[in-house]
Chain A
Amino acid sequence: MAADAGQHSTFHGIGVSAGIAVGPLVVVTPAPTAPADEAPTTDAAAASALVHGVLDDVAKGLEARAAVAGDHAKPILEAGAMMARDPGLAMGIDNHLQAGKGATNAVTAAVEEICTMFESLGGYMAERVTDLRDVRDRAVARLLGQPEPGVPTLTAPSILAAQDLAPAETATLTTDTCLGIITAAGGPTSHTAILASQLGIPAVVQATGILGVAAGTTVAIDGGVGEITVNPTADEVTMLEERKKRRAAALAGGTGKGATKDGYPVALLANIGTADDAQKAAKQAVEGVGLFRTEFLFLDRDTMPTVAEQTATYTAVFEAFGDRRIVVRTLDAGADKPLKFADLGPEENPALGRRGIRLGMIRTEVMDAQLEALAAAYKATGADVRVMAPMIATQAEAMWFAAKVRALGLPKVGIMIEVPAAAIRSKGILYHVDFASLGTNDLQQYTMAADRMQGELAELLNPWEPALLDVIALACEGGAAMGKPVGVCGEAGGDPALALVLTGLGVSSLSMAPGKVPAVRTSLGLHTLERCQQMAAAARAATNAAEAKAAVLSIADPVLSDLL
């Protein structure tokens, strides 16, 4: 490799969204804070005019972005503009200026006062503080003569680099100008990773070196293997372009049902979260939905959605998929995703608290209304509906849920396996239900006792971790003993190499972001069931995640490396 004296370098992060891109780097600037040694205000009237002018500029900037933004981002940006022009905020700032605070400190103090009020109201209002602080950051940056923080407007196709990206920051990204995403923080299940794979934008997280690279530098990113090349040589770019072409060619292979080379069927399904997702996913070559998250109907609400409203939404989703299967997960809320109308109060360890089925068994009215609506939508459409409950740990919970679902005439009932206890004793639990689906993200967090939201623990959260594969194998053994299908609906199912291991372990369906289905389909079609089983054995025999992956790739078809 021809090294380009001093400037050329290569480093690695964790690849979270496959694909290759080359382009100029755009760096997301961090938000400045109000300087502690800022000069006090002596002329309050002049300072007030200055701050109001700056807030007006912030509002104009947000409005300009809203004008060209998509349906999702538009209201977020418009709400920000309205906050920047708010007379109540202006009055709060003026009070601090009159008391002698410098401009940036006055803005910060006034915003924090409103944030405190909002946070005390909780729920929907507490979430608005993010938008309000975004307005503050923009105003403070302008007052300091700096560019506004956050994602700049991308005018040319670029690769975005940031410490991490907030939901509001990613809301405006589109595939025509954002070629790739690199973050220094974040993990494989972070917001950035999920969004990037949904949009099909190559992405690498945990790439700590990226913040040392200057804006405008040409960077090549391989989101499959997590490799970043700074100032790539012409040869390297050619090599990556060829890989990109080979990848496209490999993906062009068919839209049929998922199966191994020797015809062993593995259903390829989509993960969806809204009725909108359902419309989009239904148009793609997927065999149905393996995970319909129903939370969107419940979160951010003051009152429970009515049975009629829920029925209408479920009916629309079921209709979109015709006779293809739809696996619905009942409400998965808890202390970290609190419901305003069924809040059980704060908990010390939300991930280990009263969430999922545990909340459902306390707030039975919420569970009952949801099941009633699902049953009505099933009767209206006759769709292949399968209902499952999250966070099952015991046979008693599975029995309780199955009895409720069956009493309503719903045809199939299942459970999520996210708790190691359920994986270890899946045989007994599967006695009571028709199927199980492995939520690998939570199953890994609980197996490794590592918070999945904490980027620093990414190493413990590598889905190739042999301990996780052992737990999945136990779950599949129970399924095989009972003759009941066990699927996967976590991120692991969308990895073209790991999908082979899961198939080898005995998983019969894989559900993923719809954009990941073509690569997994191609990968399955290149390998026999026997080879998948060999891969599963090799991965489980490894001493760590990296070894497990290497062992699998060493016996895989060479084309697989183009899919990663």
Chain B
Amino acid sequence: MATRHVSIASSVGLHARPASLFVQAATATGLPVTIAKEGGNPVDARSILMVMALGAKHGETVTLVADGEGADAALDSLVELLSRDLDAE
């Protein structure tokens, strides 16, 4: 079980385009990845609806969890993605 903590860099938070890019990347890992806000329940990171409903704002820390082969590398790539201002790109 791999776990990562990362602060949302996108200035608009994790919704709209940044959320869509994140969900696509999470789906592409082929692993069941979850995302949770501090103290919140983990939700399926491959679900655009759940990720948007999470309402993670700019600067908030989220926890990513994945299990399976290549989970560490997969989470590292997702952490890298969330550390960029996706909305500005």
Say yes or no for A114: interface residue by CB 8 A criterion: yes
Say yes or no for A302: interface residue by CB 8 A criterion: yes
Stretch from B49-57, B68-76, B77-85 at the A interface: B49-57
Which of A82, A88, A302 sits near B50, CB closer than 8 Å?
A88
> Which chain B residues (12-71) contact chain A, with CB distance < 8 Å?
12-13, 15-16, 43-44, 46-50, 52-53, 55
The residue in chain B whose Cβ has the minimal distance to the Cβ of A122 is B55
Chain A interface main SS type: helix
Which of A82, A121, A124, A302 sits near B53, CB closer than 8 Å?
A121
B47 surroundings in chain A (CB, below 8 A): 86-89, 91
Whether A118 and B53, one on each chain, are in contact in the complex, defined by CB atoms closer than 8 angstroms, is: yes
CA distance A121 to B50 in the complex (A): 13
Q: A115 to chain B: closest CB distance in Å?
A: 10
Number of A-B residue pairs with CB-CB distance less than 8 Å in the complex they form: 41
The residue in chain A whose Cβ has the minimal distance to the Cβ of B54 is A117
Q: A431 to chain B: closest CB distance in Å?
A: 44
Q: A108 to chain B: closest CB distance in Å?
A: 15
Say yes or no for A168: interface residue by CB 8 A criterion: no
Q: Known contacts being A87-B47, A88-B47, A91-B44, is A124 close to B16, with CB within 8 Å? A: yes
Whether A121 and B49, one on each chain, are in contact in the complex, defined by CB atoms closer than 8 angstroms, is: no
B11 surroundings in chain A (CB, below 8 A): 302-303
Which of B13, B48, B55 sits near A83, CB closer than 8 Å?
B48
Which of A86, A118, A303 sits near B12, CB closer than 8 Å?
A303
Whether B49 and A125, one on each chain, are in contact in the complex, defined by CB atoms closer than 8 angstroms, is: no
CA distance A83 to B48 in the complex (A): 7
The residue in chain B whose Cβ has the minimal distance to the Cβ of A110 is B49
Number of interface residues of B (CB under 8 A): 15
Say yes or no for A448: interface residue by CB 8 A criterion: no
Contact flags (1/0) for A91-124 with B, using CB distance below 8 Å? Answer: 1000000000000000000000010011001001
Q: A248 to chain B: closest CB distance in Å?
A: 45
Say yes or no for A484: interface residue by CB 8 A criterion: no
Q: B67 to chain A: closest CB distance in Å?
A: 16
CA distance A125 to B55 in the complex (A): 9
Q: Known contacts being A124-B16, A303-B11, is A86 close to B48, with CB within 8 Å? A: yes
Most chain A beta-carbon contacts within 10 A, residue among B43, B46, B53:
B53
B52 surroundings in chain A (CB, below 8 A): 118, 125, 128
Most chain B beta-carbon contacts within 10 A, residue among A88, A125, A302:
A88
Known: A87-B47, A91-B47. 18 other contacts (CB 8 A): A82-B48, A83-B48, A83-B49, A86-B48, A88-B46, A88-B50, A89-B49, A91-B44, A114-B49, A114-B53, A121-B55, A124-B15, A125-B15, A125-B52, A125-B53, A128-B52, A302-B11, A302-B12
